[in-house]
Structure 1
Amino acid sequence: MSAGRIGLTRKLLVICCVALSAASPPTQAAPDVVRGEQLYGRCIACHAMATDRVGPRHCGLLGRRAGSVADFEYSAAMKKSNIVWDEKALDLFLKKPLAMLPGSSMTYDGVPEARDRADLIAYLKSANSDAACRNLKSK
């Protein structure tokens, strides 16, 4: 192959790679459980994993119907919401709690950054599989 043809082939390859990378959506980093645990520090003023505080416990949160922890006093809005906490519902709620559920007693403004919410949800998922939460669920 001639030097001119090799140069043309390289140029075409570079053009194709640039076009493909521009057309591909940027990849998002996988949620970071450790970072999520650090972000959970924002929540501990009102919540704990295993006990109810100002807000209900977070053990067993994923898959649980909103407003369903026994003996916890929820707002009427939360009790009537029919939300089942999955990743999507948590993401929407954590972004702007009062916008998603007006009348909720959760007064926190929310977590505006999508990455922060993803990391926080990853931590909640991980923590819910820990022995401490499994033991609470079995009681």
Structure 2
Amino acid sequence: MKSFVVAAALSLAALTSQAQAQDAAAGEKVFVQCRACHQVGETAKNGVGPVLNGLFGRKSGTIEGYNYSDANKNSGITWDEAVFAEYIQNPRAKIPGTKMIYAGLKDEKRIADLTAYLKQFGKDGKKAQ
């Protein structure tokens, strides 16, 4: 019985990892629409929008060299999955006065996929292995 439980747990872990990889791959496709303003990766630079490397766990308005709106700098937000999901659905509702001009991403699956993709990138832009 004990070996069955261990085998089941290992199978579940493998499926979870595979699902996350699939979500990240789908999220990369979602990110195509974000690329007009944002970059990720080791060579990412601020553009119309700030670099999104290391987004989760970071305080809003803190990427060096990017000119944030006062609304963003003073929002008090620390990015996590729930805050990001709410923000990306309607940025101007979450942070009134933000410079981000984006109608919003409404589909929860696509938001989850985008989140999985962005979570791969550390502060240095390297993908977690």
- TM-score normalised according to structure 1 size: 0.70
Structure 2 residue aligned with 1:26: none
Aligned mate of 2:29, from 26, 32, 38: 38
Number of matched residues? 104
2:61 pairs with 1:67: yes
Instruction: Tell whether the 8 Å contact from 2:46 to 2:65 is kept in structure 1 after alignment.
Output: no
Matched residues in 2 for 1:134 and 1:62: separation? 14
Counterparts in 2 of 1:16-27, with a 5 A limit? none
1:133 maps onto 2:128 in alignment:
no
**1:89 & 1:83 partners in 2: Cα distance?**
8
Residues 103, 118 of structure 1: CA spacing in aligned structure 2 closer, same or farther, 3 A cutoff?
same
- The Cα of 1:47 is off from its aligned counterpart by 0.5
Superposition map of 1:1-139 within 5 A: 32-49=23-40, 50-126=44-120, 128-129=121-122, 133-134=125-126
Which runs of 5 or more residues in structure 1 are unaligned? 1-29
| CA distance in structure 2 between the partners assigned to 1:104 and 1:73 by the alignment | 11
Question: What secondary structure sits across from 2:125 in the alignment?
Answer: helix
Shift of 1:62: 1.0
Moved over 6 A (4+): none
Structure with the larger RCO, 1 or 2 (CA within 8 Å, 6+ apart): 2
Matched-pair contact (CA < 8 Å) for 2:56–2:81? yes
Percentage of matched positions with identical amino acids: 38
Quick check: which has more Rg, 1 or 2? 1
Name the Cα RMSD after superposition: 1.8
